[in-house]
Structure 1
Amino acid sequence: MRFAIKTRPEHTTWQQLRDVWIAADDFEIFESAWHWDHFYPLSGDMAGPNLEAWTTLAALAQATRRIRVGCQVTGMVYRHPAVLANMAATTDIISNGRLELGVGAGWNEMETAAYGIELYPLKERFDRFDEGVQAMIALLTEKVANFDGTYVKLTDAYCEPKAVQTPHPPITIGGKGPKRTLRAVARWAQHWNVIVPGPEEWKPLKDILVQHCADVGRDVGEITCSVNVRIEPDQPLAAAVAAAAAYGEAGVDLVVMNLPLDAPPSVVEPLAKALAPLA
């Protein structure tokens, strides 16, 4: 089994978030570290602090040396895909090739309404997402990119300098929609992340992904499948470790351990030791 950590950039400070990632960087059992792409906290006081995802991610890439870095996941509605492609290329350069490019269609009505960002009807949102992923791949892989979509258009477009990783940073698509999300994973992603209650809910989704991969002629083994396990502050660490083990037995490749809110760096070492027998 493989492991990662995820921090919540809400109700915390930059210094504490940075120190947790630096601590995780010292333990090879954690292959990657993630945070989220929101502008408001998702718990507690909605008017409280929440660090912006990509500026923070670039700084965390500079602060660390080994661990892979990613956003789980970037809402496509928040940034034009051409802008996001350029951000990804630069962040990959800053990290010396450690970026995981996490993307999703977006969902947060509160944030989009507050900021005047249009949250399109569901079908259009996924149509835009599909076009956005293709446009980003074109910009990250082609010297001069052209794309003629319904919603996204590129005309002799450049994204220079290119990312360190080739052909592009691995794309993580997050979500569990059986028709659109999992089909997009099969077509373009190197990593699929989903949040589900347990292995029983994960297995049918994996079966759907296998079928989508067969439909497009792709080996599902090329795609890392990950889930999230939350570490509850009022429960023994052993409970989260047991949940991770159950996912491993079900066939999950990577378990992302969600650290408690405002967790100090000292939580990382006990977690690494508790997970070591599963690695």
Structure 2
Amino acid sequence: MDFGLHIADFTFAGGPSQLGPALAAHVRNAEGSGIRRITVMDHFWQLPGIGPEDHEMLEAYATLGFLVAHTDKVLLHTLVSGVIYREPALLAKQVTTLDVLSGGRVGLGIGAAWNEQESRGLGFRFPPVAERFRQLEETIQICLQMWSDSEEPYEGAIWQLERTLNSPQSVSRPHPYLLIGGGGERKTLRLVAQYADACNLSYGPQTAHKLDVLRGHCEAVGRDYDDVEKTAMIGIDPSTTWEDIAARARELADLGFTATYVFSVGIREPERVVEVIAGAIGELG
């Protein structure tokens, strides 16, 4: 089981003036403790359930660039990017740039977006769900074409690109790590089966069922189910112990998951988050 640190809360002790040094120390500590992946949210306001909307939230791709400069080995990506926030070619170029500058350590996590309040608050168009899923599939197709040897035009229902030139090309081949987040059974998991290297699911009573649905979609498109990496996300709070994390990771491993991203709520000391994840890593060997 790989463990990832998902940084969902930037309200660290010390406040915004010390956030840069604190974040750099946090990710160096995580990497040195055996954590193999680090991810950030792609939001502009803090999410309900984690903190008030006006708590600190950093823009995802600027933050990933900062993390590239302060790590050496970990895989980095968003968990996950809302498809409505960026034009597809710009998103492909951003991920490519970070992948090149990191030596092949940056991937793309993507989803259909859901936070209407945040989007309308900041002026992002928030289309109906069917259109967002059309955007999601076309964005994935454009990214994969830009990461290929093709410079041919792309003609979609939403986007038309005259030349899909992407230079420099990504270091990761055949393309950067591609994860699709969400458990929607009819659309999201079909897109995972058709395009993605990995899925990301919330852990709960429906998790095993979601995997069965994914297996069915893989069979329908002729994809080996085992080729899709299964990843999950779990939350911790100040009362969580490393034994709690290890126990949950064992349950996930029994279902076929190979990576667990851990995010924290209400823990303002980043070293505490790394400490409990490191304890679970040590327990599981």
Q: TM-score under structure 2 normalisation?
A: 0.91
1:49-108 alpha-carbon deviations (Å, 9 max, x no partner): 211100000110111001111110011100011100000000101211011210111111
1:214 matched to 2:219? The reply is yes
Q: CA–CA distance in 2 between the matches of 1:89 and 1:209?
A: 28
Q: CA–CA distance in 1 between the matches of 2:268 and 2:101?
A: 26
Q: CA–CA distance in 2 between the matches of 1:272 and 1:238?
A: 11
SS in 1 for 2:153: strand
Q: Percent identity?
A: 30
Q: CA–CA distance in 1 between the matches of 2:180 and 2:157?
A: 21
User: Could you tell me which residue of structure 2 aligns to residue 17 of structure 1?
Assistant: 23
Note the C-alpha offset of 1:3.
Answer: 1.7
**Is residue 107–residue 177 contact of structure 2 (8 Å, CA) maintained in 1?**
yes
Q: CA–CA distance in 2 between the matches of 1:271 and 1:208?
A: 30
Q: CA–CA distance in 1 between the matches of 2:51 and 2:163?
A: 46
1:7 matched to 2:7? The reply is yes
Q: CA–CA distance in 1 between the matches of 2:172 and 2:269?
A: 31
Q: CA–CA distance in 2 between the matches of 1:75 and 1:18?
A: 25
Aligned-partner residue type, residue 5 of structure 2 = I
Match of 1:82 among 80, 86, 89: 89
Aligned-partner residue type, residue 279 of structure 2 = K
Q: How many residues align?
A: 276
SS in 1 for 2:113: coil
Q: CA–CA distance in 2 between the matches of 1:138 and 1:250?
A: 33
Ranges in structure 2 where 5+ consecutive residues have no aligned partner: 13-18
Aligned-partner residue type, residue 274 of structure 1 = A
Aligned-partner residue type, residue 164 of structure 2 = A
Taking structure 1 as reference, are residues 268 and 47 closer, same or farther at Cα in structure 2, changes over 3 Å only?
A: closer
Q: CA–CA distance in 1 between the matches of 2:96 and 2:216?
A: 32
Q: CA–CA distance in 2 between the matches of 1:274 and 1:248?
A: 13
Match of 1:231 among 208, 227, 236: 236
1:134-184 alpha-carbon deviations (Å, 9 max, x no partner): 011111213414210000111113221111101110100000000100000
Question: Which runs of at least 4 in structure 1 moved beyond 6 Å after TM superposition?
Answer: none
Alignment of 1:9-48 (within 5 A): 9-12=9-12, 13-28=19-34, 30-42=35-47, 43-48=50-55
User: Could you tell me which residue of structure 2 aligns to residue 277 of structure 1?
Assistant: 283
**Is residue 41–residue 47 contact of structure 1 (8 Å, CA) maintained in 2?**
yes
Q: CA–CA distance in 2 between the matches of 1:100 and 1:89?
A: 8
Alignment of 1:1-279 (within 5 A): 1-12=1-12, 13-28=19-34, 30-42=35-47, 43-196=50-203, 198=204, 200-260=205-265, 261-279=267-285
Aligned-partner residue type, residue 257 of structure 2 = V
Q: CA–CA distance in 2 between the matches of 1:186 and 1:100?
A: 18
Note the C-alpha offset of 1:266.
Answer: 4.9
**Is residue 9–residue 51 contact of structure 1 (8 Å, CA) maintained in 2?**
no
Aligned-partner residue type, residue 32 of structure 1 = R
Q: TM-score under structure 1 normalisation?
A: 0.93
Note the C-alpha offset of 1:14.
Answer: 2.9
SS in 2 for 1:118: coil
Q: CA–CA distance in 2 between the matches of 1:256 and 1:36?
A: 12
Aligned-residue CA RMSD in angstroms? 1.6
Q: CA–CA distance in 2 between the matches of 1:9 and 1:44?
A: 8
Aligned-partner residue type, residue 210 of structure 1 = R
